[in-house]
């Protein structure tokens, strides 16, 4: 039971490599055998060369690299039982009893389902003679620990997800660059930033760049936002400001749950104020580049704690997620955190903004 595998899944995030590195090195230090599973769940389903043993040196010189060196993917096969059956057979073949999954809430939900089905998957593999009864007996339990890698900071239970701080650095650099050119030409810039269900990036970017207005999913603006926005921009210009910055989260919505887009905001400003208005969509630049010092440390701490959690857990322990609580790495029940995260999305879908904000506050 000292064999473990680590994989990254869903959207990539800066700092994932630091986590992979820490998992591998702490595991080796503790005498474990460690595997990489390449390309997320797809590699687990396909097996073969996607599951390779990791060595101390295979994670050298990666802490400063963005993305994930072991690849990530979205995998439809794993959403089907047949796919998970193949994945289980591949893990048993390599005698892997412990998994560290680094990904967003979708990846962690998949891991929890896999864990719940584990016994029945193995029984099916015995009945179709893919594995022996002896292999089943040896692999009765699968222990799972999750780490949250997501630039959006959209997971309940942890103060910061791996990648968020680096994405913020990227956004702030871009806004600072835009501000100089906007100043010269007295322009208004609308910056669209990532965050499908979570306005954290937009909100913190707005606070730290002195933006004039921000649109986030959790707190939709008042119904007359067009009037309020124009009034605010006009006030600033009258007071001598030469530029305006507006941040729009990609998941921004109005009080009817309809998307508020950068294009729409631009049209409101041009039609009413006739200001020279431009849009910058930051897109994947936010995910790219080197991780910040914070994300390198966060990934390293979370990775090390994940291995310790696996080694200390009972064989039948429920999956946990490693979270940051203040300055402490803590272990929380994985499914409770996933459930809370899904409740925020549900509250937003039901237009219960107060509950959405309360739940975010709780996390
Ligand atoms: P991001 O925050 O970047 O979206 P994520 O982990 O939430 O990351 P998803 O695309 O939702 O990204 O999930 C990644 C993969 O996890 C999926 O492609 C699929 O293989 C697996 N997965 C997600 N949800 C489930 C589920 N309910 N059951 C089984 N597998 C799942």
CA atoms within 13 A on the CB side of 185: 11
pLDDT in tens, 108-129: 999 999 999 999 999 999 999 9
HSE-up of 193 (CA within 13 Å, CB side)? 34
- Atom 13 in ligand 1: which residue has the minimum CA distance? 106
Question: Could you report the per-residue pLDDT of 227-279, keeping only the tens digit for each?
Answer: 999 999 999 999 998 999 999 999 999 999 999 999 999 999 999 999 999 99
pLDDT at 66 over 90: yes
- Non-local (6+) Cβ contacts of 178 within 8 A are 189, 191, 245, 280
- Residue 105 near ligand 1, beta carbon < 6 Å: yes
- Residue corresponding to tokens 């990609």: 250
Per-residue confidence band for 362, with pLDDT thresholds at 50, 70 and 90: low
Q: Whose CA is nearest to atom 3 of ligand 1?
A: 11
The SS3 assignment for 259 reads: strand
> Which residues have CB under 8 Å from 123's CB, separation 6+?
136
Asked whether 104 lines ligand 1 (CB < 6 A), one says yes
* C-beta 164 within 6 A of ligand 1: no
Q: How far apart are CA 33 and CA 29, in angstroms?
A: 10
Annotated catalytic residue 77: no
Q: Is the CB of 10 under 6 A from ligand 1?
A: yes
120's tokens: 């029945």
pLDDT (tens digit, 9 = 90+) per residue, 319-361? Answer: 999 999 999 999 999 999 999 999 998 998 899 988 988 888 7
**8-17: per-residue pLDDT in tens?**
999 999 999 9
**Closest C-alpha to ligand 1, atom 19:** 75
| Annotated active-site residue in 152, 154, 165, 212 | 152
CA of 273 to the centre of ligand 1 (A): 43
Mean pLDDT, residues 39-50: 98
| Residue 321 CB–ligand 1 contact under 6 Å | no
Determine the Cα–Cα distance for residues 117 and 137; give it in Å rounded to an integer: 16
Atom of ligand 1 nearest to the CA of 103: 6
> Where does residue 316 rank: exposed (0-12), middle (13-18), buried (19+ CB within 10 A)?
exposed
In the chain, what's the furthest Cα-to-Cα distance?
Answer: 79
Q: How many CA atoms lie within 13 A of 171 on its CB side?
A: 34
Bridge partners, 189 (sequence order): 245, 278
Only one residue has tokens 């900071």, namely: 153
Q: What is the chain's length?
A: 363
Q: Which residue has the tokens 């039948």?
A: 316
For the chain, give the percent of residues with pLDDT over 70: 99
Exposed/middle/buried for 303, CB within 10 Å: 0-12, 13-18, 19+?
Answer: buried
Is residue 120 annotated as involved in ligand binding?
A: no
Lowest mean pLDDT among 82-91, 207-216, 340-349: 340-349
* Alpha-carbon distances of 148 from 19, 299, 331, 334, 343, rounded to whole Å: 10, 9, 12, 10, 17
**CA neighbor of 251 nearest in space, from 210, 193, 209, 203:** 193
């Amino acid at each position: 039971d000292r064999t473990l595998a680590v994989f990254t899944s869903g959207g990539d995030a800066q700092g994932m490599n630091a986590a992979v590195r820490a998992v591998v090195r702490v595991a080796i230090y503790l005498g474990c055998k460690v595997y990489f599973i390449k390309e997320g769940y797809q590699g687990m389903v396909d097996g073969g060369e996607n599951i390779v043993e990791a060595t101390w040196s295979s994670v050298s010189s990666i802490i400063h690299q963005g993305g994930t060196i072991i690849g990530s993917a979205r995998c439809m096969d794993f959403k089907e039982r047949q796919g998970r059956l193949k994945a289980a057979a591949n893990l048993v073949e390599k005698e892997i009893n412990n998994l560290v999954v680094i990904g967003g809430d979708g990846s962690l939900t998949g891991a929890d389902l896999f864990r719940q089905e584990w016994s029945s998957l193995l029984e099916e593999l015995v009945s179709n003679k893919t594995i022996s009864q002896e292999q089943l007996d040896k692999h009765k339990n699968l222990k799972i620990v999750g780490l949250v890698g997501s630039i959006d900071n959209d997971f309940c239970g942890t103060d910061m997800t791996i990648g968020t701080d680096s994405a913020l650095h990227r956004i702030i650099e871009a806004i600072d660059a835009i501000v100089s050119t906007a100043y010269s030409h007295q322009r208004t810039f609308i910056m669209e930033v990532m965050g499908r269900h979570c306005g954290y990036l937009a909100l913190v970017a707005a606070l730290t760049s002195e933006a004039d207005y921000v649109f986030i999913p959790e707190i939709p603006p008042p119904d007359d936002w067009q009037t309020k926005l124009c009034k605010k921009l006009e006030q600033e210009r009258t007071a001598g400001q030469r530029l305006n910055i507006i941040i729009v989260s990609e998941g921004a919505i109005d009080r009817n749950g309809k998307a508020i887009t950068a294009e729409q905001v631009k049209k409101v400003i041009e039609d009413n104020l006739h200001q020279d208005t431009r849009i910058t969509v930051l897109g994947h630049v936010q995910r790219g580049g080197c991780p910040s010092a914070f994300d390198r440390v966060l990934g390293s701490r979370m990775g090390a704690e994940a291995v310790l959690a696996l080694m200390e857990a009972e064989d039948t322990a429920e999956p946990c997620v490693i979270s940051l609580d203040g300055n402490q790495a803590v272990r929380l029940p994985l499914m409770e955190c996933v459930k809370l995260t899904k409740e925020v999305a549900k509250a937003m879908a039901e237009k219960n903004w107060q509950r959405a904000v309360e739940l975010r506050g709780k996390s």
